Amino acid sequence: MTMSMNTVIYPVKDLERAKALFTALLGTGPSVDQPYYVGFEAGGRHFGLDPQGHGKGLTGAVPFWDVDDLPGTLEALLAAGARTVQEVQDVGGGMRIATVKDADGNMFGLRSGPAAA
C-alpha cells in the first residue's frame, strides 16, 4: 500500500521569510517558487512551504506518504480511526493529496500521482 515518505509540507505565515530560511538550511534555492507554494529538493526529499496550510488545518510540519491507491489507503485509515483533515484534492499535474489526523492528533498526508511514483 505505502511506497515511501519523501515529502514534508510546512504551513507558513510569511512565505518569503520561510523561503530564505529553507534556502539557508538546505543550501539550495527552490525548485518550485509560486505565491501559493514553494518547494525544495534536497537529499532525495521534497520540502514544501504552504502559505495556506494553516487555513487548511495544518498545525505543523506534515509528512506525506506516497501511496499507489489513494482512495483505498484513505478508506483503510478512516476505518482504523483516522479523521479527515483535508479531503482528496488534485493539486496539479495529476498529483492528488489528502490529509488525515490520528486519534492522538498527529497529522500526516497521502500523495498519489505521477510525481509520487
Domain boundaries along the sequence of the chain? 2-116
User: Which grid cell is 93?
Assistant: 499535474
What's the CATH fold of domain 2-116? 2,3-Dihydroxybiphenyl 1,2-Dioxygenase; domain 1 (3.10.180)
115 contacts: CB under 8 Å, gap ≥ 6: 93, 94, 95
Give pLDDT tens digits for 13-36.
Answer: 999 999 999 999 999 999 999 999
Query: What Cα–Cα distance (Å) separates residue 59 from each residue in 73, 79, 105?
Result: 22, 23, 10
Q: What pLDDT is attached to residue 31?
A: 97
* 2, pLDDT greater than 90: no
* 107, pLDDT greater than 70: yes
User: Which grid cell is 14?
Assistant: 510569511
Share of the chain above pLDDT 70, in %: 96
